[in-house]
Amino acid sequence: DLSHNIVLYLEGISVSFDGFKALNNLNLYIEAGELRCIIGPNGAGKTTMMDVITGKTRPDTGSAWFGQTIDLLALSEPEIAQAGIGRKFQKPTVFPNHTVFENLELALAGERSVWKVLFAKLSPSQIARIDQVLETVGLKDHRSTQAGSLSHGQKQWLEIGMMLVQEPKLMLVDEPVAGMTPQETEKTAELLVSLAGERSVVVVEHDMDFVRSIARTVTVLHEGSVLAEGSIDKVQNDPKVVEVYLGE
């Protein structure tokens, strides 16, 4: 039964803002360990979809399940994060006046009170977890660097690290390579590919070359529902998709 491999089910999700349907009967199924790219023109509903998954926006209709048992529509935003769904927004929101290590420490603690967190003593296993994340995101040599002096790319990796210390089962990543150099983009592609497998990763991205370099399955949103889904070649050659992008 394939449904046992599904970590995220969105079924018949609709969201209206003043009568305008930002999401219109959206269905989305994400498998365990999958790296999925979501594309679509501006206004397609990508952000609203992420907001529904994280509990920021409540749908008018539909159901949203995390794994077999967790009804996302019954949980608050913090409860959804606690359940294992992490999100990274497009703009980095690191603490610029704290070191890379301290940023990860704050993320691990859930960023409640900065001073309380930074004066508390970490357990050896917490330190090991942070060091492991530093290694994963390639910031080992920047452990003591002030986050504010990192490059744009490094800040984005730190933020991915801040999500990783919380050990999410599903990571939602919004436009990770916007503003990155080609080298940073390549490193980010490798990082996201390496993160999928142990967890599911959903990436919203406009950069089609980047999407091509990482995605096995691409979902195209348009007017609040799925217009096409499949390999990048399949969706890029789909006449419906071509029409939507040419009309942009």
Binding site for ligand ADP (CB under 6 A): 17, 22, 40, 42-48
Report yes or no: 67 and 85 within 8 Å, Cβ to Cβ. Answer: no
Pairing between β-strand 6-17 and β-strand 20-31 as defined by DSSP bridges? antiparallel
For residue 224, the minimal CB distance to ligand ADP (Å) is 7
For residue 124, the minimal CB distance to ligand ADP (Å) is 42
Pairing between β-strand 35-39 and β-strand 200-204 as defined by DSSP bridges? parallel
Report yes or no: 15 and 52 within 8 Å, Cβ to Cβ. Answer: yes
- CB nearer to ligand ADP: give 48 or 54: 48
Q: Which of 193, 224, 188 is nearest to 207 (CA)?
A: 188
For residue 178, the minimal CB distance to ligand ADP (Å) is 13
For residue 137, the minimal CB distance to ligand ADP (Å) is 25
- CB nearer to ligand ADP: give 164 or 221: 221
For residue 208, the minimal CB distance to ligand ADP (Å) is 15
- CB nearer to ligand ADP: give 64 or 165: 64
CA distances, 127 to each of 75, 84, 130, 156 (Å): 30, 20, 5, 21
For residue 221, the minimal CB distance to ligand ADP (Å) is 6
Question: What are the structure tokens assigned to 237, written together?
Answer: 């050659």
Q: Which of 16, 3, 178, 190 is nearest to 89 (CA)?
A: 178
The type of residue at 20 is F
Query: Residues near 142 by Cβ (< 8 Å), separated by ≥ 6?
Result: 100, 134, 150, 154
Pairing between β-strand 61-66 and β-strand 70-71 as defined by DSSP bridges? antiparallel
Give the position of tokens 């995605």: 215
- CB nearer to ligand ADP: give 41 or 67: 41
- CB nearer to ligand ADP: give 25 or 47: 47
- CB nearer to ligand ADP: give 44 or 160: 44
For residue 39, the minimal CB distance to ligand ADP (Å) is 9
- CB nearer to ligand ADP: give 26 or 107: 26
